[in-house]
Chain A
Amino acid sequence: MEKQGKPSLFRESAKTVEARIEKLGEVQAFVDKLLECAACPIKTQMQIDLAIEEIFVNIAQYAYAPETGEAEIAASVRPGEVTLRFTDGGVPYDPLARLDPDVTLPADEREIGGLGIYMTKKVMDELHYERRDGKNILTMKKKL
């Protein structure tokens, strides 16, 4: 593996992309790059990718539909914690207000709606939504 210099303790970066699902890989790669520098375990990285996907895809599918618009992803990594913030200028929507799905139902009665947000809640340590200046701002934190 390529040798890297000692990672700095605080890293942050932000990226704005068109909110389309085709951009998902780009957004995940952007955050993963910051995480690699924090020597983040593969499992944690997968869980963070999962949270990014569920939130970003939600924005891509619903925030501006049927039009499209931008989403900003800001990531900051500090010792022991990563914070991600998603901002979009779409219709007001608090994904955290959704009721959790019943994950004990048998296959035939299962509905898939809400599962993505539920998974996000399970893999991240903190989630917070606010509507400010006409924007949806979702912040999430995970301990490393």
Chain B
Amino acid sequence: MLNIAKSIDGGAAAFALEGRLDTVTAPELEKELRDSLEGVSALTLDFEKLDYISSAGLRVLLSAQKTMSRQGGMKLVHVSGTIMEILEVTGFSEILTIE
């Protein structure tokens, strides 16, 4: 299960994710992002309450990164050690901005 708390303030959008970003839930995030990113120049994804990410979740992150690099920027915040390891082995820590 994935909960997505979304806040948009002008050109800045923040998505706080809670739960699991997997094959079943990744399409929900993909849809939320697709519906929200028009006119957004700064996207923040808050991973504080994200417990789990699989390749399906990484696919959505990559696509969001590609969109946001054209219209501004994207960053991940509050990434846990376990998820950070996944980002590192896949090289995603090199292509994403993680604070």
Residue from B22, B54, B81 having most chain A Cβ neighbours under 10 A = B54
Q: Are the CB atoms of B95 and A53 closer together than 8 Å? A: no
Q: Are the CB atoms of A122 and B89 closer together than 8 Å? A: yes
Contacts of A57 in B (CB 8 A): 23, 56
Q: Are the CB atoms of B91 and A103 closer together than 8 Å? A: yes
Q: Are the CB atoms of B95 and A115 closer together than 8 Å? A: no
Q: Please, how many angstroms separate the alpha-carbon atoms of A54 and B54 in the complex? A: 8
Known: A46-B51, A107-B65. A119 touches B90 (CB 8 A): yes
Indicate whether A17 reaches chain B with its CB closer than 8 angstroms.
Answer: no
Q: Are the CB atoms of B86 and A53 closer together than 8 Å? A: no
Q: For the complex, count residues of B whose C-beta is within 8 A of A.
A: 23
Q: Are the CB atoms of B55 and A116 closer together than 8 Å? A: yes
Chain A residue nearest to B70 (CB atoms) is: A108
Indicate whether A104 reaches chain B with its CB closer than 8 angstroms.
Answer: yes
Contacts of A115 in B (CB 8 A): 55, 58-59, 90
Indicate whether A50 reaches chain B with its CB closer than 8 angstroms.
Answer: yes
B43 to chain A, nearest CB (A): 14
Q: Please, how many angstroms separate the alpha-carbon atoms of A116 and B90 in the complex? A: 10
Within 8 A of A (CB), among B64-96: 65-66, 69, 81-82, 86, 89-91, 94-96
Q: Which of A22, A46, A122 contacts B52 (CB 8 A)?
A: A46
CB pairs A–B below 8 angstroms (24 shown): A25-B24, A43-B82, A46-B82, A50-B52, A50-B54, A53-B22, A53-B56, A57-B23, A57-B56, A103-B90, A104-B91, A105-B91, A110-B62, A110-B95, A112-B55, A112-B59, A112-B62, A115-B58, A115-B90, A116-B56, A119-B55, A119-B86, A119-B89, A123-B89
Q: Other CB < 8 Å A-B pairs besides A104-B94, A107-B95, A112-B58, 16 of them? A: A22-B24, A43-B81, A46-B51, A46-B52, A46-B82, A50-B54, A53-B22, A57-B23, A107-B62, A107-B66, A115-B90, A116-B55, A119-B54, A119-B86, A122-B89, A122-B90
